[in-house]
Structure 1
C-alpha cells in the first residue's frame, strides 16, 4: 500500500505546490516536538521518514537544504540526549545509517523522476505520433470517400452520357484514328437502315454518295487529324440508296498524353430543311421578280417613321435616294421636311383605324415637278407599308382629258344645246297655234315632242354641269341643283343637309357621283311616286357618305330586275369605279334609301405651299 501511496503522491503532489507546504509544516512541527519532547527516538525517526518522503518530490537543492537542517537538529538533540543519559550511545550510530539510507532514497527518487519524465516524453511523442497517424488515416479515409463519391458521380455521368447518346435523335458514330467504326447509336440504325453489326469494323465509306470530290474528303481528314473540329454539311447515302443531307460535326478525342485516338461524329438529317430552304429561295426569287416588275417604290416604316426596309423603283429617278445605312434611316433623312409630319400623321391614322390611307404630294425637282401618290397600309404590329407611285403622267392624262371634256362641253353648249333650246321654243310656239289646238291628235303629238325635247335639253344641261365641275366646285350645290331639277319635273320636294367640313372632289369622281345619283333621282321620278326626298352628306377626313331617302312606294331589292332595266347595276358599277360602296335598302310601302360611301384622297401642301388637288 505504501508504494501505491508514493506513486499517487508522485503524480498528485508533483503537480500541486500546496502539498510541498504541508510537508514543510510537518517537518517544522516534528522538529519542534523533537526539541521539546522526551520521545527523541520516535521524533527523529519520524523526521527521517518525512525527509525520505520529500526525497521523491524535492529538487536537489531543496532536498539538501531541508535534509541538512533537519539532520543537524536531530544530531544535536540525540547527542544532547546521550550526554543527559536519556539515550544510549548506540543511538548515535543510526544517524549516519539513516542519512545514508536517506541519500539512497533520494537517488532512487531522482532516477524514478527521470524515468517518469522520460516515460511522459515518450507518451507525448507516442500520442503525437498516434494523433498524426490518426489524422493521416482520416485524410486517407476522406480521400477514399471522396474518391468513391467522385467514382459514383462519374459512373452516373457516364450512364447519363450513354443514355443521351443512345436516345438522341442525332446520328452518332465513333471511329478509331484509322476511321474504323467502333460504335453507332440507335438513331444511326433507324435513319440509315443499317444494323449495328453491319457497320462495326467498317469505315464511313459505306455512306459515300459520290456528290463530293476527293478534295472535299481530303480537307475533312486534314482538319480532324490536325486536332481541329470539322463542321459542315455532307450529302450521304442510306442503305436503300437514297441521298440525304447531314449537318455533321466531327470531334477528335485525345488520351492523357494528348494523342488523338478516336473521332466522334454527330450528325443531323436536315434533308427536309434543305428542301424547304430551296423552295423558299425559289419563292423568294419569284417574289423578287414580281417586286422588281412592280413600278412602285415601297418603304417599310414603323409608327415613329424609322425605315425598316425599302425598294426604290429603278424607273423613278426623281425620288430622293437613301444614303448611308438604310436600317438606321428615318423619314427626315430622305423626304422633304414639309412632307414628314404629314406622313407621320397618316401613319398614325392607318395604324389606329386599320384602314388604308391615300395622299398625293407635288414634289418640285431640279428638272421639273413630279406628282406622287402615297398609299399607306398596315404591314404588321405598329408597322406600315408605304407604296409610292409616280402619277405625273396620269395627272397629265387627266389634264388632257379635262381639256377634251371642256372641248366637248363647248361643242355641246354651242351646238346641241342651242339646237334643243331652239326646238323647245318652236314646239312651245306651235302648241298655242289655233290650227294646232283644233287638231287634238296633232296637239298631243306636239306636246309629247315638246316633253321629249325638254327632257333632252335637261339631260344635256346636266351633262354640261357634270362635265364642268369647275363651274360647280361645291359638290353639295351641284347635287342639290340636280335633285331640284328632277323634283320640279316629278313633283317632289328636295331637302339637303350636311355634317363636317366639305372638301373638293376630284373632277372624275364628282362626275361619276353626280351621274350615279342622277340615275337614282330618275328612278324616284319614274317609279317611287314620292312626295319628299332627303339628301344628307357626312364629311370626314378620309371619307364622304351620301344618303338619299325618299318616302315613295319602295320595292323589293331581292327580286331580279326586269329585262331591259339596268339602273341598279350601272349605279353599282359607277360606285366601284370611284372605289366607293353603294348600299340599297327598300321595303314596299316604306320608301327607298341609297347610301354611298366614298373614300377621299388626302390633299397635303406641296413644297411651294399650294394645295395639290386629287385627280
Structure 2
C-alpha cells in the first residue's frame, strides 16, 4: 500500500499519515521507524523542489552566459565593420567581406577561447581528476576487508561490497532492495535498535557490537560503525555501515577469560589449603611449643633460664599471631561461614585497628547468600583496595559501602588519603600499572561488571564496582 497524506477536510488533519483512517508507523531500517508526518512530508518536498530550481539555474547559467557573450561579440564586430565601411568604399566587395569576417573572428575567437574552450579544457581536466579519484575510492571500497553497506533513509540496501558477500553469504543481487533486517539474529531487544536509530537520525555516529546472522543461520559478532551521509544542505540522505567480523577475537577473549577464571579458582583453592595448613598444623605446633615453654619457665632452676624462656615464649606468641593473621588474609573462614558482609566488616575493622584509620561501613543485609565466586571477588577487591590505602594513601577515614540494586551489586570504597593520578594511570601500559589494580579490573571483567577508579593527587580515591546479579 502506498503512503497517503491526509487531505484538507478529511478526517482530523493531525499531521499523521493514515491508511484506512488509521495512523501507521513504517518499519525503517533495522527494526524501528517513527510514524510519517505530513508536516515533515511538505517540509522535505518543499526543500527538494527549491533545491531542484536552484540546480536548474546552475545547470543552464553557463550556456546562457556563453550565448550572450557570443552574441555581444558578433554585435560589436558588426558594429565596428559598419563604422569602417564608409572609409573602405574603393576596396573590392570580396575584400570587404573578408575584412568583415576577419574583424568578427578577431573579436569572437578570444572570447570563445576565454569563455568556452578554456573553461571546457579546465572542466575536462577536473572531470578526469574526479573520475580518477572516484575510481580509486571505488576500488578501495570494493577491495577493503571490512564490509560496507549503504542504505537509503528508509533503510533499504542500495550497495554492498564483496566483503559483505564473503561475511554473510548473501550475494549483492540478494541483498539489494532488502534491509539489514536480513541479518537480524534476535539477540538484541527493541530498545537497542531504538537507541541506534535515535543516534543516527540525529546525525550522530553509532559505534557498537552487534550479533548478526549469516544466510546459513550461523551467528557472528561484528563491530559496526554507522555514519549518516548528508547533502549540501545538511539533510541526511543515506547511511553507511562499515563493520568487520570479530567472532574469532570474541572466542579468544572468552577462552582467555575462562582460563583466567580457572587460574583464580586454583589460586583460591591453594589459598584455602595453605590457610588451613597454617591454622591447623603450624598453629597447633606453635601452640604446643608455647605450652611447653610456659611449663619450662615455671620449672626453671635459675632466674636467668626463666628469663630466657620467657623471651622465647614471647617470640612464639608473636609468631603464632602472625601465622593466624596470615591464615586469615589468605582465606578468612568467616567468608565461607558467615558471608561477604560479615567478612568485610571484620577485615576493614581489623585493618583500621592495625593502620590507625577510622572505618565507616554501610553494608546491606543480604537476605540470601551471593554465589561463592561473587563473594570471593568482592572480598578480594576490597582487600586489595584497603591494602593500597594502608600502604600508600595514609588516610584517616576509609568508607566501605555494599548495596544490592535491582539487577546488580555495587561496592564503593573511598578514602580521604593523598590520592594518585588515575587518568594518567589509564594511559600507561600494563607494565607500569599496579598489579593490584590490574587484578581488580580482571576480577570485575570476568564477572561481566564495571569498575571505575576516581582519584587525583590530594583529594583521595574512590573505587566503584558494579556487577550484575540474578
TM-score (norm: length of structure 1): 0.39
